Chain A
Amino acid sequence: MSTTYFALSYVLLAFAAVATWVYSRLRPLRIAPFGQLLRHMMISRVNRIAVFAIWWWVGWHFFGQPFPN
């Protein structure tokens, strides 16, 4: 039961992300859609490197790292 309770924080965050994504698609003048925000962010070199580093690290962490701990 406790596991469900604490894991729920991630479910709520996922719900917030999906709700934001849907709302921004319906009201793009109020909240810019995620794709538009990403295109805007990727103009900057530092943002590009940071975003790709995060993406890559997820794959590395779950599959690539040779000696996981």
Chain B
Amino acid sequence: MRKNSRNSTLWIITFFIGTIFQFWRGSQIDTLVFAVITSLLLVASQEILELPNLRATNLATSLGILFVCTLVFTFVGIHSVLSAIFYLALISVVLMNMWRSDSISEVESTPALRRSSMIWFTIGVVTCLAELGNYFAADATHNDKVYPTITVLIDPLVAHNGGKIIFVLLWAIIGVGLFRVSVKK
């Protein structure tokens, strides 16, 4: 099996498990979100759909406007329909840009990259398992104070404006950073 198809399968399985989990916990919107992402990954892995590349200037303008609007509406109306619309518009434009074909079909990996990949993969998986373990334990014991999920720990921090500003800024900086490493050189 080629490395790319193995990666694709892992991501698809991960998001599929996420879809089942969201369905099980009764979150209809998140079930839909995860199902859409899983489907998109499935289509992307098959390379059966190509989208036209957006022109760089149009992309920068639309992304910039959407990004600012998303941040503004996060503060004006947290969990509002309007902020949801901007979040959905933002991810739509981002994904359209990220849909381009793989720039190089097969890139040589170094031992250092493989080790790094394995360590970060392990940290990611263990984090998910810790989150799941705490979620199920909290559900069974009705005590999310003893078994807190990441959401339970972060929610009080973002409940006031100071924490919200720090969290949203971090989220925005990470997004811009990801975009910078993803743009085609």
Residue contact A48 to B147, C-beta cutoff 8 Å: no
Residues of B with C-beta under 8 A to A69: 26-27
Residue contact B112 to A31, C-beta cutoff 8 Å: yes
Residues of A with C-beta under 8 A to B123: 13, 16-17, 20
Within 8 A of A (CB), among B39-57: 40-41, 44-45, 47
**A56-B87, A66-B84 in contact; A29/B112 too (CB < 8 A)?**
yes
Residue contact A37 to B117, C-beta cutoff 8 Å: yes
Residue contact A28 to B99, C-beta cutoff 8 Å: no
Residue contact B41 to A50, C-beta cutoff 8 Å: yes
Q: What total of chain B residues lie within 8 Å of the partner, measured CB to CB?
A: 74
Residue interface mask B1-27, A partner, CB < 8 A = 1 = 000100110010011000000000011
Residue contact B175 to A62, C-beta cutoff 8 Å: no
User: Residue of B at shortest CB range from A69?
Assistant: B27
Most buried by A among B70, B83, B112, B158: B112
In angstroms, Cα B15 to Cα A49, docked, is: 12
Pick the residue among A13, A46, A56, A59 that contacts B130 (CB under 8 A).
A13
Residue contact A55 to B181, C-beta cutoff 8 Å: no
Residue contact B7 to A58, C-beta cutoff 8 Å: no
Residue contact A64 to B153, C-beta cutoff 8 Å: no
Residue contact A39 to B181, C-beta cutoff 8 Å: yes
Residue interface mask A34-54, B partner, CB < 8 A = 1 = 111111111111111111110
In angstroms, Cα B7 to Cα A42, docked, is: 12
CB distance from B179 to the nearest CB of A (A): 8
Q: Mind listing 28 A-B residue pairs with CB under 8 Å? A: A7-B148, A31-B115, A32-B112, A35-B181, A36-B113, A36-B116, A37-B116, A42-B182, A43-B103, A46-B8, A46-B11, A46-B44, A48-B182, A52-B94, A53-B37, A55-B171, A55-B178, A59-B70, A59-B74, A60-B91, A62-B151, A62-B155, A63-B158, A65-B79, A66-B29, A66-B80, A66-B83, A66-B84
Q: Which residues of A contact B (CB under 8 A)?
A: 2-3, 6-7, 9-10, 13, 16-17, 20, 24, 28-53, 55-69
